[in-house]
Amino acid sequence: MTQTTIGMPQTDASGLSENWLFRYCGDQHWQRLCAAWRVTADQLRDDEGHQIYPVFVAVRSRYSAPLNAVRLNQRFRTAVRLAHFGRTLCHSRLTYMNCAVRIRVEMLTTFAYKEIESRNGMRRTSPSSGLHLHGSSSANSPDVLKIGEAIRRGDLDGYQIDGETVSEGSRVSLSSEPFEPSPYMDFNGAGLLYFASYPTIADTLERQIMCRQNPFGLSSDWALATSTVARDVFYHRNLAIGQCVLATIGHLTRHGDRILLHTRLTCAESTDMLADVFTVKRVGAHRGEFHG
């Protein structure tokens, strides 16, 4: 179990940075994954010798308090459980907690190598047959995999997140302007749009839409008036450096102090689906309301 203290690098304008949180949890997932194969990251290769990387299929997170409840200098401890499904799927459950806030993050990854001739093309693969897996395994794939497949096929009838339901009967269509992710902030060392950037991009473009239209009559900036309590991200494709992202809010409802959004990210140049992001935000939870 590891310990961390919240400092400036872990925060954003409203509280705990979800971008940092996803990066941190992703690193914990990757470290446990390499340990299970008994290799360092550069030694994880397939039978053809390709350097292979974890490709995120889905991330689901739940926060017992809004992220802006987290304050500077709070201490957290991390617990991680990792399971494997065959030689290609890795599923982790991470808990990041202290006496005031409990954060649960579920991550599902597969393996791929980067095709040299393609700017962002990835080809699925598996660790070399010469590598032996140590750790728990299961014959049953996690539910989050099945849900992601249903979303990609377009046959998911309703979606539930943290007690809220996205239904086909309550669709809206609010679109953003094109947004170009930064090679210096949003992409990783493999030249791929980093998995932690997808929800941050969704937040950025949702804020653009909400500040322009303000459908709920909020009196302050969307980023300060709301804070995330639940987030599910299903990843479909990556993006090349220089391409732009469009966000379309397909579901937007408010129940009391909770706002439910379903946002689809697409490539502006090709209209390819990049990700589906389901979010529950709480309204009016200002920094300093919670103390740890």
| Residues 85-125: tens digit of each pLDDT | 888 999 999 999 999 999 999 999 999 998 775 566 788 99
Q: Is the pLDDT of residue 191 over 70?
A: yes
Angle between helices 18-37 and 197-213 (to 10 degrees): 160
Give the Cα-Cα-Cα angle 87, 91, 95 (nearest 5 degrees).
150
Question: Among the listed ranges 8-17, 127-136, 188-197, which one has the minimum average pLDDT value?
Answer: 127-136
Higher pLDDT, 198 or 171: 198
pLDDT band at 291 (very low <50, low <70, confident <90, very high): very low
**Which pair of tokens denotes residue 54?**
């974890």
Whole-model pTM: value is 0.93
The sign of the CA dihedral 6, 25, 38, 45 is negative
- 206 CB burial (10 A radius; 0-12, 13-18, 19+): buried
Q: What confidence category does residue 290 fall into, taking pLDDT thresholds of 50, 70 and 90?
A: very low
Contact 136, 90 (CB under 8 A): no
Neighbours of 203 (CB within 10 A): 24
**CATH superfamily of domain region 2-283:** Hotdog Thioesterase (3.10.129.10)
Q: Is the pLDDT of residue 288 over 60?
A: no
Calpha distance 52→46 (Å, rounded) = 7
The domain limits of the chain are: 2-283
Distances (CA, A) of 12 to 9, 18, 19: 8, 8, 9
Evaluate whether 287 touches 184 at the Cβ level (below 8 Å).
no
Q: Is the model more confident about 169 or about 171?
A: 171
Stretch 13-34: mean pLDDT: 96
Average pLDDT over residues 15-35: 96
List Cβ neighbours of 146 (8 Å cut-off, separation of 6 or more).
none
Q: Determine the pLDDT at residue 202.
A: 98
Task: Note the helical H segments in the chain.
Answer: 18-37, 143-153, 197-213, 222-225
